[in-house]
Structure 1
Amino acid sequence: MMYLAYQTQADLMEPIRFGAKMARRMLDSPFMGLLGGNSGIRHLSAAYEMVERAALSHARLPFHIDTTTVGNREVEVVEENVCRLPFGTLLHFKKDVDVPQPRVLVVAPLSGHFATLLVGTVRTLLPDHDVYITDWHNARDVSLDEGPFAFDDYVEHVIKFLEFMGPGSHLLAVCQPCVQALVAAAVMAQEDNPAQPRSMTLMAGPIDCRINPTKVNELATSKPISWFERNLIATVPPGFAGSGRKVYPGFVQLSAFVSMNLGRHMKAHFELYENLAAGELEKAETTKVFYDEYFAVLDLAAEFYLETVQYVFQEYRLPKGELTYRGNPIDFKAIRRTALLTVEGERDDICSIGQTVAAQDICSSLRPHRKRHHMQAGVGHYGVFSGRKWAGQVYPLVRNHILASD
């Protein structure tokens, strides 16, 4: 009923948003401009635009990366879907370059947002690397005929993507999938898979949530897993390809994210209204671009969500050595050839200091010179993989780590 109620409300709001859009276009027309930029009209137009924007999107936006600079020349970037699996597509940012570059698989989080949340990460990597990314599908658009998508299925997708890319690739995981990326590397090492990555970069991921628990960790342990299943899992209503599938809705996850920093989001939208009303369109555009992406949400398959909460955040199976893959024990000591870099943010309130660096001890067979850790001062969670300090201070370390392992 939860999902049906949400969708009904969204459908009822659609004509209201459409009406606001038409009204705003009329107020922004050249005819109204003859009135000399009346302040009242600008405020009314801004109000209509805020109503127009009061909606979530459930489709991935384009990355909008058309070019990048390689060496001293600008080259075209083309998005290619090179390997499609039921719940995710391997997306390649193809460039026409003269010299082969290290192939890097960016493993995007599956936590309510699309892979475009990492557009800044990809944009920074592109000049020096041949970049691929896991483009996860919205579970509400995946037919029940494709079966379930659980924790092990996520790991299998990562392994299959690395196999498609071929031997010599590198792995970079951001946030939640650091666990699955580490598992994938261990499973491939155990099987002596020729496509096991040469290097692995784990950024702000919950490897060991027992260390310095955050509000996110405390929420996960405050209720039994049965509570999460009863209260947060919904059924996709009719009208979608995945009708009948059990999911953790993206709109629920977004509500949780927003509530953690409600004051900041309210302030941002108030400032957006003021910028629109004042005609400061450049400032307004920056805010709109951010929230266009932030309010684009996807649903998670219920199996994956519940198992991730249980295995990673409640039972700590990875650091306790109790995690399995397809029913078989995982030997992380098998990782001997994949160099490891872990990165954390000083002010990260989602994945705190100590949780990611724990991977260093888990990969105990790696020689010391094959392991490195970096704590980035002055950044929160998103600053680890996006923004000025990511590009200027964290990325050079990632680039050198990959280059030294290539």
Structure 2
Amino acid sequence: MRYMATYDMMETIRNTNQFLGASALAMASYPAFAMFPNPAMQWLAAWGEVTERTFSRMVMKPDWNIPPFVGSNGQDRLVSVEKEIARDFGDLIHFKVQGRTEPKRKVLLVAPMSGHYATLLRSTVISLLPDCDLYVTDWHNARDIPVSAGKFDVEDYTLYLVDFMKHLGPETHVIAVCQPAPLTLAATAYLAEEDPKAQPRSLTLIGGPIDPDATPTEVTDFGRRVTMGQLEEMMIQRVGFKYAGVGRMVYPGLLQLASFISMNSETHTEAFQNQITRVAQGEAHEHDKHNKFYDEYLAVMDMTAEFYLSTVERIFKNGEIAKNAFVVGGRHVDIGKITTVAVKTVEGSNDDISAPGQCVAALDLLTGLPDSKKASHLEEGAGHYGIFAGRSWRNNIRPLVLDFIDANTPGKKPHRKRGPHQPDPANYNVAV
């Protein structure tokens, strides 16, 4: 019961700060104060506006807000989001492009379940839509899932991916970003034994911890220092009475957010101080750089306790994927059974979460896959976020990924024209 009280206490603190921000903004904006202009009232209104917005975003799921794009015929293409498969813990959603008649690459983008919503990949989605028929895993906030729905751990996550891949069919190309990379690899291996014809054509793993011990980081060091008992005692709480998942054991989003911010507290403090100054001076606006980033960054979701704990224990501490010892439903999943799915890994040289070496380790596990179907890419100067969003993704990584997809699609022409001395896109930075 104390865990439920702790969960409700965190929500009470968040709610109180949101109320204080809204109250300060309303009071400082009172018309009578305009008769005697005072910089202190402008600053108070700015503080209230930033504070209210900040704490309200913590419990809101951001909208996808996918803008229309110009099609090949010069007409605007509107994009709608449709549920392809609805499940208790996550949906498979489809970004349907209105008026599109020409077939595009069918791509499944596997979003992380690591504290943020799938909308964290909004810019990735926007960049892929003109060239791909895109599907995305949209995971649910555990606080909104009734206890009656049961558990959800790494095995259940893997089986969800198996079902999604089966539904989309063998012409699918899968891109897994960060946390789901090892489980997506396991799901593909699971299909290789259970239903080989349902395997995707290609698998691109971006910045995922396939072998966390290959290149230790602060994240892996933390997992080594803390015992499972300590993690369960410090991180796990019961959902409070306000939400449909009341009583469910979770790793709360607000607690995750506190951890995220504490890692770079000085940077975040300076960012908010500067934003308050900009608001007070009338230089900020609804969709400025600060708001666009923090509206997404602050929107956090609870993870089920069993998913968080099993991820730490089985992926990081025991290294079951790295040792090819992962088990689903009592059955060993042998990654070496993947023999036809082309696999490419993408890493960033400055990635401090999944450092270079952790993701490319997947290629060594693919003992049954010929080298001609293995490829890797290391993006110089890119951090963790940069390898799936931002300039590095747009200018370098995205074209390489599309080339890799095309090279493993029968009858498909390459995405880009290559010079006479450039390698085949199936083997850019070929792994040997």
* Superposition TM-score, scaled by structure 1 size: 0.94
Q: Following superposition of structure 1 onto structure 2, how do residues 82-231 of structure 1 map, counting pairs within 5 Å?
A: 82-96=84-98, 97-231=100-234
Measure how far apart 1:249 and its partner are: 1.1
Q: Percent identity?
A: 38
RMSD across aligned positions (CA) = 2.1
Q: Aligned residue for 1:288?
A: 291
Kept in 1: contact 2:169–2:200 (CA 8 A)? no
Q: Aligned residue for 2:344?
A: 341
* Superposition TM-score, scaled by structure 2 size: 0.88
Over 3 Å counting, the alpha-carbon distance change for 1:393 and 1:36 in structure 2 is farther
Kept in 2: contact 1:103–1:170 (CA 8 A)? yes
- Matched residue type, 1:260: M
Q: Aligned residue for 2:239?
A: 236
3-state SS of 1:281 partner: coil
1:254 equivalent among 253, 257, 262: 257
Q: Which range moves more in the overlay, 62-71 or 376-385?
A: 62-71
- Matched residue type, 1:65: I
Residue ranges of structure 2 left out of the alignment (5+ in a row) = 410-432
2:334 aligned with 1:331: yes
In structure 2, C-alpha distance between the alignment counterparts of 1:156 and 1:68, rounded to whole Å? 34
Measure how far apart 1:128 and its partner are: 0.3
Measure how far apart 1:225 and its partner are: 1.4
In structure 2, C-alpha distance between the alignment counterparts of 1:68 and 1:32, rounded to whole Å? 46
Q: Aligned residue for 1:276?
A: 279
Measure how far apart 1:25 and its partner are: 5.1
Kept in 1: contact 2:82–2:95 (CA 8 A)? yes
Q: Aligned residue for 2:75?
A: 73
By relative contact order (CA 8 Å, sep 6+), the higher-ranking structure is 1
Q: Aligned residue for 2:359?
A: 356
In structure 1, C-alpha distance between the alignment counterparts of 2:334 and 2:390, rounded to whole Å? 36
- Matched residue type, 1:269: F
In structure 2, C-alpha distance between the alignment counterparts of 1:9 and 1:110, rounded to whole Å? 21
In structure 1, C-alpha distance between the alignment counterparts of 2:401 and 2:32, rounded to whole Å? 52
Q: Aligned residue for 1:64?
A: 65
Kept in 2: contact 1:214–1:349 (CA 8 A)? yes
Measure how far apart 1:233 and its partner are: 1.1
In structure 1, C-alpha distance between the alignment counterparts of 2:60 and 2:183, rounded to whole Å? 24
Kept in 2: contact 1:105–1:169 (CA 8 A)? yes
Kept in 1: contact 2:92–2:135 (CA 8 A)? yes
Measure how far apart 1:255 and its partner are: 1.6
Between Structure 1 and Structure 2, how many residues are aligned?
A: 405
Residue ranges of structure 1 left out of the alignment (5+ in a row) = none
Q: Which range moves more in the overlay, 315-324 or 13-22?
A: 13-22
2:328 aligned with 1:304: no
- Matched residue type, 1:7: D
2:42 aligned with 1:42: yes
Q: Which range moves more in the overlay, 31-40 or 69-78?
A: 31-40
Q: Aligned residue for 2:422?
A: none
2:40 aligned with 1:53: no
Measure how far apart 1:81 and its partner are: 1.2
Over 3 Å counting, the alpha-carbon distance change for 1:292 and 1:259 in structure 2 is same
Kept in 2: contact 1:20–1:48 (CA 8 A)? yes
In structure 1, C-alpha distance between the alignment counterparts of 2:5 and 2:133, rounded to whole Å? 42
2:393 equivalent among 375, 390, 394: 390
- Matched residue type, 1:64: N
Measure how far apart 1:80 and its partner are: 0.6
- Matched residue type, 1:274: T
Over 3 Å counting, the alpha-carbon distance change for 1:40 and 1:252 in structure 2 is closer
Measure how far apart 1:250 and its partner are: 1.3
